Amino acid sequence: MPSQIHLTVAAVVHGKGGFLLVKERDGERVVINQPAGHVEPGEGLLEAVRRETLEETGWRVEPRDLLDISIYTSPHNHVTYYRFAFLCEALAHDPQAELDSDIIEALWLGESELRARHDEMRSPLVIKTVDAYCSGTRYPLEIIKDYR
């Protein structure tokens, strides 16, 4: 039985340049992922996705819809992640932002380029979340109740 829950958020940001992604270090691997990370104690899901995206890409975003909720066990570290993926609107970029230390770079990839690089993805959830976006899946943010 795990001793802690790994509650994470991910941002799907689509714009003229394609999808906003990060190239990052995951142990010994270099992978591509959506801006994503753990929800911190006392933090809400929407706050977490805003913060993680800014810390990893320098982009300020605003969540507009919930795309999916996934439960995934990584074959690399055997951790089970509970992941909330949000469709976010890019608001502004801070080119001077200092990115998290494990981030190599933020990049924009078109859908075909992203799919062609599927073997570089941190997990299959990256493509599955893009699939949810492309299929038009959207859930209103009002589905999340925050009673803090």
Return d(Cα 145, Cα 23) in angstroms, integer.
32
**147 falls within a domain:** no
In a domain, 27, yes or no: yes
Give Dmax (Cα) for the chain.
44
pLDDT digits (tens, 9 = 90+) for 69-108: 999 999 988 999 999 999 999 999 999 999 999 999 999 9
* 119-141 residue pLDDT tens: 999 999 999 999 999 999 999 99
**Can you tell me the distance from the alpha carbon of 19 to that of 11, in angstroms, rounded to the nearest whole number?**
10
In a domain, 148, yes or no: no
pLDDT at 1 over 60: no
What is the extent of the structural domain holding 47?
6-142
Confidence band (pLDDT; 50, 70, 90) for 3?
confident
Spatial distance between the Cα atoms of 125 and 63, rounded to a whole number of angstroms: 18
The domain total for the chain is: 1
CATH number, residue 115 = 3.90.79.10
- Judge whether 34 and 9 are in contact, CB under 8 Å: no
- Residue 55 inside a domain? The answer is yes
Instruction: Compute CA distances 82 → 46, 71, 87, 108, 125, whole Å.
Output: 15, 5, 17, 25, 11
46 has which bridge partners? Answer: none
In this predicted structure, what is the pLDDT of residue 122?
A: 94
Average pLDDT, the chain: 95
